[in-house]
């Protein structure tokens, strides 16, 4: 095997040799490196040096790989792109150099098979090369049948790929994290899509999967957050684990009649999914298959389904009457005899009475039911199970039911407020009643549920679906607090008006309200607890109450569209990560003449062009204060 530098446009301009290698350079300096097989007279595109890490940025601009290479009087056929040939061809920050623009393999190559080997175009992050600006387009000829594992992994500027129908295999992770790729047509010769093949292609909007494909592999389209549409062929038999998980804009999926298995977490986290058709013929639905799909209001289970994994759904569940293993009532999943309650969907809100005749509550049955406020347990219940599955960490059946304040217990189970026993059913409970005549402390005002005692009033939950929400001014003339998780995961809400009657916003109160754009916080609010607005990814601006003295840990974590924030003069401390992952934050106004206490990494990872406005006389103080000093532009105002 020999290694050669060969020009693209001309054959030879000058030639030289040494004991260690042979090289050819043209007048333009354009080069491709090859490994030659003198016996087979074939050539493989490779890298410069002894290892792929020997040099950086050897290839630039547009690279056209020819069908033949002339060397030492012999003609070599180009049959492959070798492993890691284009590895680490990335943009250098120091030179702002734009590297590989496109690669086209000429169709005239006469060979049975060309394999695009794994890691060919992988861009690797480092302190000196944080952003790739390399490979932009790929044209693959008819002669290519295989694209290797991770072949185009993390080619972040790759926008278009043309693949011939002769391609029968796309390797695992072949196009993983190609974040600029917008659409893909799967070749007609494919029979399966390998694991992670297009995972993390966050700008991929449409995928057409041809007839003949029988399997969509593990995580094939995982984290394709812009994917709105996919067409599944009638030939499809299996949708593997996490195949479409976290495809946040996917709205509608029609599963073909030939599918028999829907894997673990297959559509987990598809936040916009509002319709799914599960055909008769599906026998297995894996755990969390449709979990965390808040807009999927109803799911129908056909008679063919014999296995349903834990936490498979978060919506109303309707089971066909002739299903041999399962049944449903009021959207809740039971075994066939209705003696075991298997899953209460987290999307259901308010009060629930377990039907008389149920003897067992399955492990994970009520996990994440954030909006369950009251539960009645009949005398027939004798057991509430705890998961013994290590993958669930031995969690309780009622894990994270933080609004379950009230329990009416008519069973023989000894249930006490705050106890972790019996699946943690009363872990968050304020009251456990055993008498049917016991008065409830839960009070309903329209779509708002309050928990009222002589000492405090909490807005516990919101049971509506409005896009614009205005909270009650007061409760019976008295001020109140917003409880922990009160509005969590209400993605329909776009705006919230909080009146002067509110004094406190609890932990995670508005967390994960991904549609929330605007919120008004009055000066009556004196305390905003940690993570109160975490992952409100549409929130654009917020004015914090003038009465607040501390911004707690992770308060605005993940508010990726938050552009500006005003911190009032009474704030003396900003907690760790309060603005972490607020990627759009451009302007901060801090009114305190003394810089609030904070960690040095408060603004770590944010845009370097962020501007801070402080009282004019305090500019120098902020330039020296921990955390604040790392903001490059600090301006004074009067």
pLDDT per position as a tens digit, 354-364: 999 999 999 88
The pLDDT of residue 166 is 83
Tokens of 345: 């969907």
The answer to whether residues 420 and 462 belong to one domain is no
The answer to whether residues 457 and 529 belong to one domain is yes
The answer to whether residues 63 and 195 belong to one domain is no
Q: How many residues belong to the chain?
A: 638
The answer to whether residues 257 and 386 belong to one domain is no
Of residues 122, 126, 169, 121, the one with CA closest to residue 144: 169
% pLDDT > 70, the chain = 82
- The last residue of a domain, from among 381, 408, 440: 440
In a domain, 160, yes or no: no
Per-residue HEC secondary structure of 520-574 comes to ECCCCCCEECCCCCCCCCCCCEEECCCCCCEECCCCCCCCCCCCEEEECCCCCEE
The answer to whether residues 106 and 252 belong to one domain is no
Q: Name which residue leads in pLDDT, 585 or 37.
A: 585
The pLDDT of residue 608 is 75
Q: Binning pLDDT at 50, 70 and 90, where does residue 601 land?
A: confident
Give the span between the Cα atoms of 373 and 292, in whole angstroms. 20
Give the span between the Cα atoms of 572 and 448, in whole angstroms. 33
The pLDDT of residue 116 is 53
The answer to whether residues 368 and 335 belong to one domain is no
Task: Using DSSP, state whether 60 is helix, strand or coil.
Answer: strand
Tokens of 576: 């760790």
% pLDDT > 90, the chain = 57
In a domain, 256, yes or no: yes
Residues with Cβ within 8 Å of residue 616, at least 6 apart in sequence = 636, 637, 638
- The last residue of a domain, from among 425, 440, 455: 440
Reading phi first (left if > 0) and then psi (alpha if -120 to 50, else beta), residue 175 is in alpha
Q: Which residues of 175-192 are buried (b: 16+ CB within 10 A; e: fewer)?
A: bbbbbbbeebebbebbeb
Mean pLDDT of the chain: 84
The pLDDT of residue 581 is 92
Task: Using DSSP, state whether 81 is helix, strand or coil.
Answer: strand
- 15-29, 100-114, 275-289, range with the lowest pLDDT: 15-29
Q: Name which residue leads in pLDDT, 469 or 35.
A: 469
The answer to whether residues 493 and 598 belong to one domain is yes
Asked if the model's pLDDT at residue 306 lies above 50, the reply is yes
Q: Binning pLDDT at 50, 70 and 90, where does residue 29 land?
A: very low
In a domain, 387, yes or no: yes
Q: Binning pLDDT at 50, 70 and 90, where does residue 105 land?
A: low
pLDDT per position as a tens digit, 392-414: 556 788 988 999 999 999 999 99
The answer to whether residues 484 and 624 belong to one domain is yes
pLDDT per position as a tens digit, 59-102: 655 566 677 778 888 888 777 666 666 655 554 333 333 445 55
- CATH number at 41 reads 3.80.10
Give the span between the Cα atoms of 287 and 309, in whole angstroms. 4
Range of the domain at 381: 357-440
Q: Name which residue leads in pLDDT, 111 or 407.
A: 407
The pLDDT of residue 85 is 66
In a domain, 166, yes or no: no
pLDDT per position as a tens digit, 196-229: 999 999 999 988 899 999 999 999 999 999 999 8
pLDDT per position as a tens digit, 504-528: 999 999 999 989 998 889 999 999 9
- The last residue of a domain, from among 303, 330, 348: 348
In a domain, 327, yes or no: yes
Of residues 217, 212, 193, 220, the one with CA closest to residue 256: 212
The answer to whether residues 616 and 470 belong to one domain is yes
Asked if the model's pLDDT at residue 25 lies above 50, the reply is no
Tokens of 17: 């040799």
The answer to whether residues 542 and 616 belong to one domain is yes
Q: Is 492 exposed, middle or buried (0-12, 13-18, 19+ CB in 10 A)?
A: middle
Tokens of 113: 């098979």
pLDDT per position as a tens digit, 420-430: 999 999 999 99
Asked if the model's pLDDT at residue 109 lies above 80, the reply is no
Asked if the model's pLDDT at residue 49 lies above 70, the reply is no
- CATH number at 564 reads 3.80.10.10
At residue 275, φ and ψ (nearest 5 deg) are -150, 135
- 145-154, 554-563, 589-598, 613-622, range with the lowest pLDDT: 145-154
In a domain, 6, yes or no: yes
Q: How many domains does the chain have?
A: 4
Q: Which residues of 224-249 are buried (b: 16+ CB within 10 A; e: fewer)?
A: bbbbbebebbebbebbbbbbbbbbbe
Q: Name which residue leads in pLDDT, 100 or 231.
A: 231
The answer to whether residues 193 and 139 belong to one domain is no
In a domain, 103, yes or no: yes
Q: Is 553 exposed, middle or buried (0-12, 13-18, 19+ CB in 10 A)?
A: middle
Q: Name which residue leads in pLDDT, 313 or 584.
A: 584
Asked if the model's pLDDT at residue 14 lies above 60, the reply is no
Average confidence (pLDDT) over 621-632: 94
- 27-36, 183-192, 618-627, range with the lowest pLDDT: 27-36
Asked if the model's pLDDT at residue 533 lies above 80, the reply is yes
Tokens of 439: 């008065």
Q: Binning pLDDT at 50, 70 and 90, where does residue 35 land?
A: confident
- 268-272, 313-317, 575-579, 634-638, range with the lowest pLDDT: 313-317
In a domain, 480, yes or no: yes
Give the span between the Cα atoms of 350 and 330, in whole angstroms. 13
The answer to whether residues 553 and 424 belong to one domain is no
Give the span between the Cα atoms of 479 and 481, in whole angstroms. 7
């Amino acid at each position: 095997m020999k290694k050669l530098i060969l020009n693209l446009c001309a054959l030879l301009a000058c030639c030289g040799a040494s004991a260690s290698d042979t090289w050819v350079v043209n007048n333009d300096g354009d080069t491709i490196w090859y490994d030659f097989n003198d016996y087979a007279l074939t050539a493989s595109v490779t890298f410069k040096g002894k290892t792929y890490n020997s040099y950086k940025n050897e290839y630039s601009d547009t690279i056209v790989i020819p069908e033949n290479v002339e060397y030492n009087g012999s003609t070599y056929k180009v049959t492959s792109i070798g492993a890691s040939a284009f590895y680490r061809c990335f943009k250098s920050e120091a030179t702002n150099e734009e590297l590989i623009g496109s690669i086209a393999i000429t169709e005239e190559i006469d060979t049975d098979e060309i394999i695009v080997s794994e890691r060919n175009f992988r861009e690797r992050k480092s302190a000196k090369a944080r952003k790739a600006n390399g490979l932009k387009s790929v044209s693959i000829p008819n002669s290519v049948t295989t694209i290797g594992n991770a072949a185009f992994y993390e080619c972040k500027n790759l926008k278009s790929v043309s693949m011939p129908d002769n391609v029968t295999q796309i390797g695992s992770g072949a196009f993983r994290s190609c974040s600029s790729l917008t659409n893909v047509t799967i070749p007609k010769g494919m029979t399966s899509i390998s694991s992670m093949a297009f995972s993390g292609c966050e700008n991929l909007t449409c995928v057409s999967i041809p007839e003949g494909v029988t399997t969509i592999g593990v995580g094939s389209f995982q984290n394709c957050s812009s994917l709105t549409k996919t067409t599944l062929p009638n030939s499809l038999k299996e949708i593997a684990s996490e195949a479409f998980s976290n495809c946040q804009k996917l709205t509608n999926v029609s599963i073909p009649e030939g599918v028999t298995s829907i894997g673990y977490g297959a559509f987990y986290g598809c936040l916009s999914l509002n319709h799914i058709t599960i055909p008769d013929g599906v026998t297995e639905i894996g755990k969390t298959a449709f979990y965390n799909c808040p807009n999927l209001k109803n799911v129908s289970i056909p008679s063919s389904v014999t296995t349903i994994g834990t936490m498979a759904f978060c919506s109303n569940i309707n089971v066909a009457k002739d299903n041999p293993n399962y049944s449903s009532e009021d959207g809740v999943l039971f075994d066939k005899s209705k003696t075991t309650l298997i899953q209460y969907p987290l999307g259901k809100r308010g009060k629930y009475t377990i039907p008389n005749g149920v003897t067992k509550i399955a492990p994970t049955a009520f996990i994440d039911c954030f909006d369950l406020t009251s539960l009645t347990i009949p005398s027939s219940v004798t057991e509430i199970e705890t998961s013994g599955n290590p993958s669930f960490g031995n969690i309780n059946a009622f894990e994270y039911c933080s609004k379950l304040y009230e329990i009416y217990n008519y069973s023989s189970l000894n249930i006490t407020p705050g106890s972790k026993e019996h699946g943690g059913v009363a872990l968050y409970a304020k009251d456990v009643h055993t008498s049917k005549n016991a008065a409830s402390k839960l009070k309903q005002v329209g779509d708002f549920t309050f928990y009222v005692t002589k000492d405090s009033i909490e807005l516990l939950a919101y049971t509506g679906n409005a896009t614009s929400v205005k909270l009650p001014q007061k409760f019976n003339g008295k001020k109140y607090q917003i409880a922990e998780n009160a509005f969590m995961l209400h993605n329909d809400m776009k705006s919230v008006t909080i009146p002067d009657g509110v004094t406190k916003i609890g932990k995670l109160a508005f967390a994960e309200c991904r549609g929330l754009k605007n919120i008004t916080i009055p000066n009556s609010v004196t305390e905003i607890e940690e993570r109160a607005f975490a992952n409100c990814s549409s929130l654009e601006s917020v004015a914090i109450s003038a009465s607040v003295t501390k911004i707690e840990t992770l308060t605005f974590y993940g508010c990726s569209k938050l552009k500006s924030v005003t911190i009032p003069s009474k704030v003396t401390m900003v907690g760790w990560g309060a603005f972490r992952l607020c990627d759009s934050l451009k302007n901060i106004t801090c009114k305190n003449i003394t810089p609030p206490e904070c960690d040095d990494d408060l603004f770590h990872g944010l845009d370097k062009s962020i501007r801070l406005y402080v009282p004019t006389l305090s500019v120098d103080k902020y330039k020296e204060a921990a955390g604040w000093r790392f903001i490059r532009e600090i301006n004074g105002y009067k």
